[in-house]
Amino acid sequence: MDVNNLSELYEEMLLISPALVTARGISKVMDNEVSHDKITRLLSGRIFSEKYIWQKAKPLCHEIETEVAVFIIDDRIQEKPYTKENDLICWHFDHSKHRHVKGVNFLTGLYHSWDISVPVLVEFVTKPIKSKNEKGRPIRKSAVSKNGLFRKMVGHASDNLQFSYVLSDSWYGNSKNMQFVHQQNQKFIFAIKGNRKIALRREEKEKGHYVSIKILELEGRSLVVYVKQFSFPIAITSQDFKNGDDTFMLYLASNDLDLTSEQMTTIYQKRWKVEEYHKSIKSNICFAKSPTKTVKTQKSHFIASIAVFNRLELLKIRKEKNHFALKSYLQIVAMKKIRIELYKLLTANLKKVA
């Protein structure tokens, strides 16, 4: 079996396995036709790289490519508390939990069009630089910031894909990123923080007169404003955003001045697709379920898991079922076959006893 068929086999196992995906487990499923050493060599090789994601996604992206597509970037930390620390799996600050967690931190560029979401780019936050903090405790640092990786991904997408807007949350909604996207001749809609200072007119910007966007009544309307760092104006709006029982104000900014408040919020809602993606690769594709030990084999497993997401998206369209329903369907099929096999084993034992 060549390396391409092996990669296909590994992806299939990620899709159907209910638990840990191991080289020995795959070998047993294949009746030892594929040795566990071959699977180990596959994960240790070069096939599963960041480029693999783009190679697998490119044909599908070009098939669904439209002018109204959006390019979404977001990062996520998948906790791996019991895995030995290395440059890939280490400690990161989780802003959603307000504390440091141990795991893998990765950025995904998601291309969304025709109700299909395709992960086209992935970057892992590695921390190979070791130092000590003010208290003398050992810490790790990354050579490239997440914002630097963000701009790298936007540049690649701009060169290879057609889309209408770059969407991202307030972590990436800073001036440098906005400036970069604008220079790429792309439009953006970013969430921005409520402490952002703006000028209501160009004359006020020139005089250095800025106010907080919190004092503006933006609900239901967009407003063209000026920011100190930009030579161009931006449009801003706000909406009430619910997170469970909590409600807070979400501020949005765009360099598309023609957008109404309703259009801006409607388009930005597509950013939720990246949350669905993160949930699915964790729950349906064994992203966190691998006993791999080295940085290379761990990264290979994560990349293969992300690539499998495209298969679920295609099945979602063909079968008109979401990812969780598809996974449940596969598990039911497997349980039916297990029940038949169990019956055979039980009846065989009864005959021997008789």
Question: In terms of pLDDT, which residue wins out, 179 or 347?
Answer: 179
pLDDT at residue number 80: 94
Question: In terms of pLDDT, which residue wins out, 244 or 156?
Answer: 156
Q: In this structure, are residues 107 and 149 in contact, taking their beta carbons and an 8 Å threshold?
A: yes
pLDDT at residue number 216: 86
Q: In this structure, are residues 42 and 34 in contact, taking their beta carbons and an 8 Å threshold?
A: no
Look at domain 49-283 and name its CATH class. Answer: alpha beta
- Tokens standing for 24? 């020995």
Please tell me the pTM assigned to this model.
Answer: 0.91
Instruction: Give Dmax (Cα) for the chain.
Output: 98
Distance separating alpha carbons of residues 20 and 274, to the nearest angstrom: 24
Q: Express each pLDDT in 276-298 by its tens digit.
A: 999 999 999 989 888 899 999 99
Q: In this structure, are residues 281 and 306 in contact, taking their beta carbons and an 8 Å threshold?
A: yes
pLDDT at residue number 350: 58
**Torsion angles phi and psi, residue 85, rounded to 5:** -70, 140
Provide the residue type at 47 as one letter.
I
- Tokens standing for 134? 């003010």
b (16+ CB within 10 A) / e for 18-41: eeebbbebbbeebeeebebebbee
pLDDT at 126 over 70: yes
Q: How many beta carbons lie within 10 A of that of residue 94, not counting itself?
A: 15
Distance separating alpha carbons of residues 80 and 97, to the nearest angstrom: 15
pLDDT at 3 over 60: no
